[in-house]
Amino acid sequence: MSYALDDATLRQLCAQALSGHTSPNRFVALALATTDPMADVARTVERMVFEESFGLDATAMLAEYGPYEQHSYLFLILDRETGMPAGAARAIEGGGKTLDDAPELIGRSLSEIVDMHGLHDGGKIWEYATLAVLPRYRADRNGLTVSGMLYRAFINAGHRWQVRHVVCMLDAAAYRNLDMLGVRFIAMAGSEPFEYLGSAANRALYIPFEEIARSMGDMAEQLSQPEVPDAGGRRRPGLRRLTQRLASQVSSGDDLDPHITMPGFERRRRPRP
């Protein structure tokens, strides 16, 4: 397991994965088990972004996420133009770091959190643990494409495993982007933002899994209506169209699902006796 693959190894692994991917699209997505050879590519992307943004190097990433590897699933976006990764994300089954770390950070007991959000109903809980888009993609619309594919891969995987509850801790930028797309998180146990892992304004959040796509679909429908000027009388039709399109694609899978494969979620067939 590595959070620090060199460029040559990254390029070699990405070339192998791209040659076997069924979609010819520029950006393609893979949902991976942690034992997949491509999982280290996703971990390296996580580390690159978290080190740049929060100062977490490979050693720190291993300390923070190593204990959860056995319960993790990784999502990886590859770029055919560069032959390299563009972004990565992670889900942790059972609530992961959020349910381990949030109680102390927000001043609520785990039992209070569980009771307040109905997490004791036996439904599967996933943590949306990381989201990492490499810097070169954040300056233009490609960043939205990459993050949108990561969101959709998470939704597809969650449907496959019948997830019922989602918890997460998001920094200000990640929260703003998902809120813009219409995802209506609930502040965990009524908590306020707090400092966490180098981020000054993290939020502990909860949402029923089925509400993610539904709320994005509602936002897409809302944004398709005639625009009402903001308080300053301004209109931003370009941003509105872009947000509407992305919210619609992520909620429905249109133009995204054909480019997402889930090798880590295929059930293994038992050999016949």
Q: What is the per-residue pLDDT for 199?
A: 82
The 10s digit of each residue's pLDDT in 1-28 is 999 999 999 999 999 999 999 999 999 9
Helix (H) or strand (E) holding 261: strand 260-261
Residue at 12: amino acid letter: Q
Spatial CA neighbour of 91 closest among 135, 156, 145: 156
Q: How far, in Å, CA of 189 to CA of 28, rounded?
A: 37
Q: What is the per-residue pLDDT for 233?
A: 55
Q: How far, in Å, CA of 197 to CA of 55, rounded?
A: 9
SS3 4: coil
Q: Where are the alpha helices (DSSP H) in the chain?
A: 7-20, 39-54, 58-65, 96-106, 110-116, 142-160, 172-180, 209-223, 237-252
- Is 147 within 8 Å of 183 (Cβ atoms)? no
How many Cα neighbours within 13 Å face the side chain of 107?
Answer: 5
Share of residues in the chain with pLDDT > 90 (%):
83
CATH number of 7-265: 3.40.630.30
The 10s digit of each residue's pLDDT in 146-161 is 999 999 999 999 999 9
Q: What average pLDDT does the structure give for the chain?
A: 92
The 10s digit of each residue's pLDDT in 84-124 is 999 999 999 999 999 999 999 999 999 999 999 999 999 99
For 141, other C-beta atoms within 10 Å of its C-beta total: 10
Reported confidence tier of residue 237, pLDDT bands at 50, 70, 90? confident
Q: What is the per-residue pLDDT for 226?
A: 78
Reported confidence tier of residue 268, pLDDT bands at 50, 70, 90? very low
Residue 115: alpha-carbon gap to chain centroid = 25
The 10s digit of each residue's pLDDT in 34-46 is 999 999 999 999 9
The answer to whether residue 267 scores a pLDDT higher than 70 is: no
Reported confidence tier of residue 64, pLDDT bands at 50, 70, 90? very high
Residue 173: alpha-carbon gap to chain centroid = 13
**Mean pLDDT confidence for 169-188:** 95
Phi and psi at residue 87, to the nearest 5°: -170, 165
The answer to whether residue 273 scores a pLDDT higher than 80 is: no
**Mean pLDDT confidence for 117-142:** 94
The DSSP annotation for 148-191 comes to HHHHHHHHHHHHHTTEEEEEEEE-HHHHHHHHHTT---EEGGG-
Between the alpha carbon of residue 253 and those of residues 76, 140, 149, 182, the distances in Å are 17, 22, 9, 16
